Structure 1
Amino acid sequence: MEKPHIMLVDGMAVLFRSYFATAGVGQFFRTESGLATNGVQGFARHVLTAKSLMKPTHIAVCWDMGAHTFRTDMFDGYKANRPAPPEDMVHQFDQAREVSELLGWKNYGEKGIEADDFIGSFTKKWPDEADYTIITGDKDMLQLLNPSVKIAFMKKGFHIYDLYTETRFGEEYGILPEQFADVKAFMGDPSDGYPGVKGIGPKTALQLIQRYGSVEGVLDHLEELKPAQKKKIEEHQDMLALSKKLAVIKDDLQLDVALEEIAVPDYSAELVRLFDEREFRLLARLLEKSFI
């Protein structure tokens, strides 16, 4: 029997991308009451298009549920430099989850936990029984690659993806996917707000992990490093350890979900009518044209 193919969607990444792609050219697709729907309708279109391209048998959408997470408790600066979402976007967070449910895609999220951690835990839920494709724009997800997991990074438009497999990652990086968090620990992540080791960039960070295998391996061989590198690492050793904790995606959440609960649904003309009533007309036409 063919393995189930589960498409895991980084909901907030898709929603933000959809919002800014259209807001940048003034396309907000407002309702009669003036509410913008560009992010929501773009999110749904993106997932529907990915569904058409990737041919999953099952779909789960994972969400960030607020700015405060267990990583914020570890480090106050975590994602602290990210700007507040535009006013026209705030109401679309709840709308997007509602539309996801209407389309038959189950939502997963919890305050204090990031979407990444739900996605990581899903990939461990049925590790030998299913194949996975992750839809995201977040390079941190590379650490989740394995023979059953692929990552489709969103590129231009709705149809273009940069697909990573474990094999491609190994050819490009020369390390195992799970070692990517060690690379991030050294180089830091400006978008997530943690510095890693100041003065060590992506190239040097990768070289260190290629040679020594892990943060701990580098620390065990400090005497072999160039004096300048050794000094930087020693000066920022506490932040190095913390950065690794921040970079590692959790994969041990207890997910109370049965496989049949996330099966790809069928759509009906009733759903088209419902989206028309809610003034999600672009989405209604897309469903009417392509899925009915």
Structure 2
Amino acid sequence: MQETNNRRVLLVDGMAILFRAFYATSYTGYIRKTSAGLPTNAVYGFIQYFFDAINTFKPTHVICCWDMGSKTFRTEQFADYKGNRGEAPLELIPQFDLVKEVVEQMGIQNVGVVGFEADDCIGTLATQLSGEAEVYVLTGDHDMLQLVSETVKVVIMKKGKLNYAVYDLALLLEEKQLSPSQVIDLKGFMGDTSDNYPGVKGIGEKTALKLILEYQSIEGVLLNLDKLPKGVRSKIEADLDMLHLSRDLATIRLNAPVRCDLSACTWQIQVEAATRKFEELEFGGLVKLLEGHPTFNLDLFSV
């Protein structure tokens, strides 16, 4: 493994943070808007969450990753994938493009690939960059725990301000009893109601975890079907195709067609451009967040 030279990359799961910000600031029914009527509550909250993470984890490099529409290779594999999700709230829709504009004006790389999810971009970039830097993934999505490694930590945003669970291999094993690859196999058995794929019908989280802990993997379970209770065995045998499909749907791709060199994502706030954008959106109270952030000399982090 290469020396990381104190480089720390923060990979931001943009859509997860934006949705979190929208619901955290709209539950009372009040939606922040500009004087022209443009909804901005999610973007406003996103910026607050973003700088909380910057101040907490002090990255030298930052990238924001985004979904690029609902159609991906997963919906081609399984038409009902995420098919249970309704339309986004009307007030949130104009903020999808707006937040990317704000991120760009701050001087941060926006990354997304049509046909892939933000998760796949994050997984791919984490894999590419982890030899050169320590990688932190900022998200609220527990599926990302499969990306944990010696050089990749997954930061799960919990309820409340500045409340993070920072998963490394040790915490993942201690808290979830799982290795990163077992996070995927667990989803193969139990499915995912949020993403709308079923796993093995009749097997829930408790049974799935018991199987993984006893036999280590889906392959281990299948090699020992004769040792399982008849009811569990028959459920698995009846749903073998869906078991394998569900595991594939749960697997974050590490080879998405995306690349970002470290030199292109140095954390170097563009104060003037960001200030103009904040003032345009009537975010005057957030301008102070732009002050006092270190700017990194690229020569110190040669790539």
> TM-score, structure 2 length as denominator?
0.91
Q: Which residue of 2 aligns with 1:63?
A: 66
Q: Which residue of 2 aligns with 1:284?
A: 287
Q: Deviations over 1:190-211 (max 9, x none)?
A: 0000111122111211121122
Q: Which residue of 2 aligns with 1:76?
A: 79
Task: Give the alignment's Cα RMSD to 1 decimal.
Answer: 1.7
Q: Deviations over 1:1-48 (max 9, x none)?
A: 733100010000000000011111234221111111000111112111
Q: Which residue of 2 aligns with 1:166?
A: 169
Give structure 2 stretches of 5+ with no counterpart: 295-303
Q: Deviations over 1:82-124 (max 9, x none)?
A: 1110110100000011111111110110111000001100111
Q: Which residue of 1 aligns with 2:299?
A: none
1:270–1:87 Cα change, 3 Å: closer
Mapping 1:17-36, distance limit 5 Å = 17-36=20-39
The answer to whether the Cα contact below 8 Å between 1:173 and 1:206 also exists between their aligned partners in 2 is no
SS in 1 for 2:175: helix
Which range moves more in the overlay, 253-262 or 14-23?
A: 253-262
TM-aligned CA deviation for residue 269 of structure 1: 4.7
* Structure 1 Cα separation of the partners of residues 289 and 259 of structure 2: 32
Q: Which residue of 1 aligns with 2:301?
A: none
Aligned-pair identity in percent equals 44
The answer to whether the Cα contact below 8 Å between 1:18 and 1:38 also exists between their aligned partners in 2 is yes
SS in 2 for 1:125: helix
Which range moves more in the overlay, 170-179 or 238-247?
A: 170-179
Give structure 1 stretches of 5+ with no counterpart: none
The answer to whether the Cα contact below 8 Å between 2:125 and 2:260 also exists between their aligned partners in 1 is no
The answer to whether the Cα contact below 8 Å between 1:125 and 1:255 also exists between their aligned partners in 2 is no
Q: Deviations over 1:227-250 (max 9, x none)?
A: 010011111111111101101100
* Alignment size in residue pairs: 291
Letter of the aligned partner of 1:204 in structure 2? T
Letter of the aligned partner of 1:68 in structure 2? K
The answer to whether the Cα contact below 8 Å between 2:5 and 2:133 also exists between their aligned partners in 1 is no
Of the candidates 5, 9, 13, which is equivalent to residue 10 of structure 1? 13
TM-aligned CA deviation for residue 291 of structure 1: 4.8
1:85–1:33 Cα change, 3 Å: same
Q: Which residue of 1 aligns with 2:271?
A: 268
* Structure 2 Cα separation of the partners of residues 152 and 270 of structure 1: 29
* Structure 2 Cα separation of the partners of residues 270 and 142 of structure 1: 35
